[in-house]
Amino acid sequence: MTTVYLSLGANAGDRQGNIARAIEALGLRGVKVVRRSSLYETEPVNARGGWFLNCAVQAETDTAPGELMTTLLDIERSLGRERSPAARERSSELREERVIDLDILLFGTHVLRTPELEVPHPRMAERRFVLVPLAEIAPELRHPVLDKTIAELLTATRDRTAVRPAASPHG
């Protein structure tokens, strides 16, 4: 089994419910979630719609990186997300609202660069909405390319977008 770290986010529909359904779907598809961060309200970055809910999970899988990505895309589709043909968004364009967004951040210590998939996620060190939840569950985890811990990456990022704990649904 390989330990992987995933980012989950949603800014459309039942955000919290969609994240919960995505986590459940991971387990049903053989991706065992062993830890998850709190939910965070995060300011949209180059995206249409309202604020996101984001979290990070640590999971275990016995699939290859490409197979895991296929699983994540299947889960997104099952929850109502249709990725545009230009799935590799250009940073200058506003991205569509997200019913759910699932990304592989780290896949063990693998480094993979293909047209379909880049691991570690190429922009994770630039995004507080990824680093804050990830630092909650794995602050000492080391990025295999940048050779810095997640806590160090969070301290060093220039991103100053708002990331705050989401209000608990129970008060």
Task: Tell whether the model's pLDDT for residue 109 goes beyond 70.
Answer: yes
Per-residue pLDDT tens over the stretch 131-159: 999 999 999 999 999 999 999 999 999 99
Confirm whether 22 is domain-assigned. yes
Confirm whether 12 is domain-assigned. yes
Confirm whether 170 is domain-assigned. no
Task: Tell whether the model's pLDDT for residue 69 goes beyond 80.
Answer: yes
Dmax over CA atoms of the chain, in Å, equals 45
- pLDDT on residue 167: 80
What's the CATH number where 77 sits?
3.30.70.560
What is the per-residue DSSP string for 56-117? EEEEEESS-HHHHHHHHHHHHHHTT----S--S--TTSPBPP-S-EEEEEEETT--EE-SS-
62 catalytically annotated: no
- pLDDT on residue 48: 76
- pLDDT on residue 47: 75
**120 cis-preceded (ω within 30 degrees of 0):** yes
Task: Tell whether the model's pLDDT for residue 46 goes beyond 90.
Answer: no
Confirm whether 36 is domain-assigned. yes
Percent of the chain with pLDDT over 70: 90
Which token pair is 154?
Answer: 């969070």
Name, in order, each residue with C-beta under 8 angstroms of 93's C-beta and a sequence gap of 6 or more.
46
Q: How far apart are CA 24 and CA 128, in angstroms?
A: 25
Query: Closest Cα to residue 104, out of 88, 123, 91?
Result: 123
- Of 81, 95, 127, 128, which residue is the catalytic one? 81
- Of 15, 95, 103, 127, which residue is the catalytic one? 103
- pLDDT on residue 89: 47
Kindly report the pTM of this predicted structure. Answer: 0.91
Per-residue pLDDT tens over the stretch 15-45: 999 999 999 999 999 999 999 999 999 998 7
The count of structural domains within the chain is: 1
Confirm whether 111 is domain-assigned. yes
81 catalytically annotated: yes
- Of 15, 101, 127, 128, which residue is the catalytic one? 101
Confirm whether 171 is domain-assigned. no
Residue 166 binned pLDDT confidence (cut-offs 50, 70, 90): very high
More confident residue, 98 or 101: 101
Per the structure, the complete domain to which residue 107 belongs is given by 2-85+92-165
Q: Please compute the mean of the pLDDT values over residues 47-70 and round it to a whole number.
A: 94
159 catalytically annotated: no
101 catalytically annotated: yes
Confirm whether 33 is domain-assigned. yes
Query: Closest Cα to residue 42, out of 126, 132, 169?
Result: 132
Q: Tell me the Cα Rg of the chain.
A: 15
